[in-house]
Amino acid sequence: MRDVAVIGVGMIPFGRRDEDTLMDMLAYASLKALDDAGLGDKSVDAVYVGNMGGGVIQHQTAIASSLVDRLSLLPAAAETVENGPASGGSAVKAGLLAVASGYYDTVLVVGGEKMREVTGWRATDFVATLTHPQVEYPYGITLPGMAGMFTRLYMEKYGVTREALVSVAIKNQEMGGLNPYAHVEMAITKEGIFDDPAAIVNNPVAADPLHLYDACPVSDGAAAIVLCPLEMLKSPAKPPVIIAGFGQATDTQTLQEREDPTDLKAVTLAAQQAFERARLKPSDIHVAELHDAFTILEIAESEHVGFFKKGEGAKAALAGKTRLGGQIPINVSGGLKARGHPVGATGVAQVVDIVWQLRHELPKNRQVKNAQNGLTVNFGGFGNNVLAFVLRRVEK
């Protein structure tokens, strides 16, 4: 099994991109990553696109072949990889395995989604296409609905407070304000949420006990990476970062079938596999991008991956341990909460952000000093298909 390096990364600003088609966004992010890798466009053997909604939203399929043509990368092989909100992570995995297998040397992985083409209930309905078609979807359960129930259980079992949830939103929106790629750049304060009467309007209940600011926005966006075997890097222009570990696990599709619905088994398993393969442990990680589609998820995942004991994540968040400069900075990018969550893009964007961290390329107010190892967690469904990647800076 060959070590696989990330030799190029690129992202376009997430948000509302009415002027771009899905294909435009995929192409822009790809060109940035290819440029970052210093590659001419004849150098890619295969392309993987992470996308969930091309068929449902854009009424468009086979977008990977189309992208290869658009980028003049013919006759490179191409596939779309779909795995709900973990489609981006699954595309990164596809690229990793493709290079590791020896079949391909240079692989472009790009994730993207144009979600704002559908708004309001249609956006929620689009994401709900991942729910169970017989026992969930017809009854109207949505992802925010599941997250609400999960949050209530978590609050009751572990004494998590709304203050803890809000602290995650405040931290991530603050970081979003510093990130030029973030969708949400608006800072929020504890006082604004708890003491300002306007919060009833500005931050209404979305799915009790979750409020609007506990959820990620509906965003357009794309991100891309270029992979190649580490052994092929002779004198890299930038510090090489390898995918040192990868893990993935599935769980029951419906929450009610789980022995303990607050136990995100697939997160635990995916992270364990990734750490094992990387021969690292949670305490070796210097920076992490977790899948905070809802504030509770950042807290829950920070426990399940092993940064904190079960039930300690909320306290850690309140104590600032997950802030830049803290014990383990989480979602310095702003996370899904603020960078945004164009579903197919997210898993790739997380890797891009960690690569920037490990190359030490970010401005001071966002850079984790001397970061050598990073972790990403991309959470599909409601935790029924989770991917984790451990990235490591290597010296060449």
Choose which of 9, 148, 385, 393 interacts with a second copy (CB under 8 A). 385
Number of shown-chain residues binding a second copy (CB under 8 A)? 58
* Own/partner pairs, 321-324, CB within 8 angstroms, 24+ separation: 322/168, 322/171, 322/298, 323/171, 324/175, 324/365, 324/366, 324/368
Binding span for a second copy by CB under 8 A among 25-33, 87-95, 141-149, 152-160: 87-95
Phi, psi angle pair for 385, to nearest 5°: -160, 105
Q: Does 185 bind a second copy (CB under 8 A)?
A: no
- Which residues fall within 8 angstroms of residue 388, CB to CB, at 6 or more apart? 245, 246, 247, 248, 267, 270, 271, 273, 274, 305, 375, 376, 377, 378
Taking residues 105 to 144 in sequence order and writing x for each that binds a second copy by CB under 8 A, - otherwise, the string is ------------------------xx-xxx----------
Phi, psi angle pair for 346, to nearest 5°: -55, -50
The distance of closest approach from Cβ of residue 180 to a second copy in the complex, given in angstroms and rounded to an integer, is: 29
Assign residue 365 a region: left if phi > 0, alpha if psi is -120 to 50, beta otherwise?
Answer: alpha
- Which residues fall within 8 angstroms of residue 101, CB to CB, at 6 or more apart? none
The distance of closest approach from Cβ of residue 338 to a second copy in the complex, given in angstroms and rounded to an integer, is: 25
The amino acid sitting at 237 is: A
Choose which of 295, 381, 392, 393 interacts with a second copy (CB under 8 A). 381
Taking residues 229 to 268 in sequence order and writing x for each that binds a second copy by CB under 8 A, - otherwise, the string is -----------------x-xxxxxx-----------xx--
Choose which of 36, 82, 113, 174 interacts with a second copy (CB under 8 A). 82
Phi, psi angle pair for 363, to nearest 5°: -65, 155
The distance of closest approach from Cβ of residue 268 to a second copy in the complex, given in angstroms and rounded to an integer, is: 10
The distance of closest approach from Cβ of residue 52 to a second copy in the complex, given in angstroms and rounded to an integer, is: 6
CA separation for the pair 47, 109 (Å, rounded) = 6
Q: Return the residues of window 313-342 that contact a second copy according to CB under 8 A.
A: none
The distance of closest approach from Cβ of residue 243 to a second copy in the complex, given in angstroms and rounded to an integer, is: 11
CB 354 within 8 A of CB 391: yes
H/E stretch holding 277 reads: helix 265-278
Choose which of 93, 171, 392, 393 interacts with a second copy (CB under 8 A). 93
| 92 vs 188, beta carbon nearer a second copy | 92
| 44 vs 155, beta carbon nearer a second copy | 44
DSSP state of 118: S
| 36 vs 220, beta carbon nearer a second copy | 220
| 98 vs 169, beta carbon nearer a second copy | 98
Q: Encoding tokens for residue 329?
A: 């900075």
Q: Return the residues of window 11-30 that contact a second copy according to CB under 8 A.
A: 21, 23
DSSP state of 134: T
Taking residues 40 to 79 in sequence order and writing x for each that binds a second copy by CB under 8 A, - otherwise, the string is ------------xxxxx-xxxxx-xxx-xx---xxxxxxx
**What end-to-end distance do the CA atoms of the chain give, in Å?**
19
Q: Name the 3-class secondary structure at 110.
A: strand
Q: Does 103 bind a second copy (CB under 8 A)?
A: yes
The contact set with a second copy (CB under 8 A) reads 1, 21, 23, 52-56, 58-62, 64-66, 68-69, 73-84, 90, 93-94, 97-98, 100-103, 129-130, 132-134, 246, 248-253, 265-266, 269, 380-381, 384-385
